[in-house]
Chains A and B, each alone.
Chain A
């Protein structure tokens, strides 16, 4: 990764003008004295960041947080209201399905059309054609008008074109999510190839795992503002908090100070993250093996995750959850009482309970982080977080790895003559 800045966004603001009628918009556009006819809606509000050559940046945020607007301004489709965006190098983009393609023309014709728009000559496109068709892999549909394409085929073709035009900056909105698993995998492999060749990638996705796996940086937008801009793993955590409505920037910093009653808590992770409304609090927790709290567990042995929960309000049927991530932040496994279809009961204020999860440690050796949670579903179906502790215990699994991948299937093997 070089130090050269290829995308520079500074104090970017996009105000959408809400007009009562299209005529008002026209009047304003042509009004010599710039009279206002609109109400303002801030889609982006003073956003600034720089992206260096070769970085892969994931952009996270709720619907309506301004992600797509940001990408559109960077590609030049939308015009900023104030602030500046400077980009260096050729941009290829997949902004929305359908953009850049003429529905009446066939796949092949659209490939050439796109080439023309990107200022490639027909001969240059002839050379690229085979690669594009191969990557899109949509068979004979390539000769059919794109209006008969499924959204997946469309995404395939659009992506195939975008990555084959030798762009220096690739901008991808959620378009990829319509592809099937095989194609998504192919795309992400291609991402890695592009990363290696120094292409800068910006993408928006709701697939948190791909952010952690492919990005070198994560940017979280909320209501038009950048709330986080650093490591992807942390960005994902911040994003999860935003999704549950429990994010506040101050809490983020005070997180590991703990609470007043934390006599027995043994968080060995200074970067643990805690939030929630504390209607129920996880006051104690530990990882237990052979009846002793520990941070190292042996492969294929039984261990227990225990948490003590104290209630400060009457709560019926809360959900208790455990999850284990590897150090890259990839969720390895996890379970909660809701998934287990357990009815946990009704608890009164000042009730204190112990929740134990017992299981076998059948994952490969390495370092892991344990997260705990106590949540509930509100009537409207949203998650209400009483207390969540992210990555509170870092632990290590030791032992032999006589398997590949993340976990041991514990296969029973038998070979017989047929």
Chain B
């Protein structure tokens, strides 16, 4: 009984891999198109988050003169945590609306609709990669040059994408039927931003409720980025947390993919 959904799932994932060329083309197109019609074009994709980081820098470094955390300038510590969050906050709402946005494709030829959330994630990755580069530059500016630990960044990025795909398939499929889904996503992101140790260090929490924070899968990702840039800890050093994250991510992935598959035949009827 479990075998059939599993086969479907494997086919589902394989199919995405097979359409990689089309996917790449569509990602490029999507990226270009988001900023079409504005004079500064793609630059807008970078301006807003850069300004945010600069404001933080000004407020916390220049204004509040925030105390360094673990001997690291506060701004660097903040950036390492907030950059992955930007990725999450940028891509999840976009993927959620992706099917509605691309409804003109859903109504056309046998287009693989499941690619739509993937396209949105793809175009957000481009911006994210730029920010990773930006982060590296900031660290370098403060005198921390990249080292061997940078190699685990692809691992965390991959984990992140698996998690994102799961939640995106789920939310994008639901959004077609329930326009409330996007509001829920935004609410979750709002809560998540303050509920994840981005602006604050987990050591500010009492010892006995720190485990609660770790239930949040984003904790793992953000911790991972900080470990890479600042703490210099390898991901295999947290066996339990890694295990927990992967269980969470894979279950979300499977649930998301199956829900999407289940609801897909109804999309064209509703749009």
Residues on A lying within 8 angstroms of B by beta carbon are: 16-17, 22-23, 25-26, 29-30, 72, 75-79, 91-93, 95-96, 98-105, 109, 112-113, 116-119, 121-122
Contacts and interface: CB of A to CB of B under 8 A. Distances in A.
Contacts of B106: 77
Contacts of B109: 75-77, 91-93, 100, 117-118
A84 to B, nearest CB: 14
Interface in B256-270: 259, 262-263, 265-266, 268-270
Interface string B95-138: 00000000011111111000000000000000000000000000
A260 B109 CA distance: 55
A309 B19 CA distance: 68
Contact of B107 (A77, A79, A113, A118): A77
B36 A116 contact: no
B105 A100 contact: yes
B15 to A, nearest CB: 13
B243 interface: no
B110 A76 contact: yes
A17 B37 CA distance: 39
Nearest to B266: A29
Contact of B37 (A26, A78, A104, A117): A104
Given A23-B178, A105-B33, A117-B22, A30 B108 contact: no
Contact of B110 (A77, A103, A109): A77
A72 B106 CA distance: 11
B177 A26 contact: yes
Given A105-B36, A119-B22, A95 B265 contact: no
A109 B25 CA distance: 12
Contacts of B29: 109, 112-113, 116
Interface residues of B, number: 28
Nearest to A100: B108
Contacts of B270: 22, 25
30 contacts: A22-B178, A23-B177, A23-B178, A29-B266, A72-B268, A76-B110, A77-B106, A77-B107, A79-B266, A79-B268, A91-B110, A96-B107, A98-B104, A100-B104, A100-B105, A100-B109, A102-B104, A103-B104, A105-B36, A109-B29, A113-B26, A113-B29, A116-B22, A116-B25, A116-B26, A117-B105, A117-B109, A117-B111, A119-B19, A121-B21
Nearest to B112: A117
Interface in B175-196: 177-178
Interface of B: 19, 21-22, 25-26, 29, 33, 36-37, 104-111, 174, 177-178, 259, 262-263, 265-266, 268-270
B268 A99 contact: no
Given A77-B106, A77-B107, A25 B36 contact: no
A159 to B, nearest CB: 14
Q: B-side binding surface: helix, strand, loop or mixed? A: helix
Contacts of A22: 177-178, 270
Closest 4 pairs between A and B when the two form their complex, measured CB to CB: A100-B108, A76-B110, A79-B265, A26-B177
Contacts of B25: 116, 122
Nearest to B25: A116
A23 B108 CA distance: 25
A101 B104 contact: yes
B26 A30 contact: no
Nearest to A171: B109
A123 B111 CA distance: 21
Given A25-B177, A104-B33, A105-B36, A95 B263 contact: no
Contacts of B269: 16-17, 78
Nearest to B101: A102
A113 B105 CA distance: 10
Contact of A26 (B26, B111, B178): B178
Kindly name the residue among A23, A29, A78, A101 whose own CB sees the greatest number of chain B CB atoms within 10 A: A29
A29 B108 contact: no
B189 to A, nearest CB: 22
Nearest to A23: B178
Contacts of A91: 109-110
Contacts of B105: 100, 117
Nearest to A94: B108
Kindly name the residue among B19, B26, B36, B106 whose own CB sees the greatest number of chain A CB atoms within 10 A: B36
A118 B25 CA distance: 12
A23 B180 CA distance: 11
B192 to A, nearest CB: 24
A29 B26 contact: no
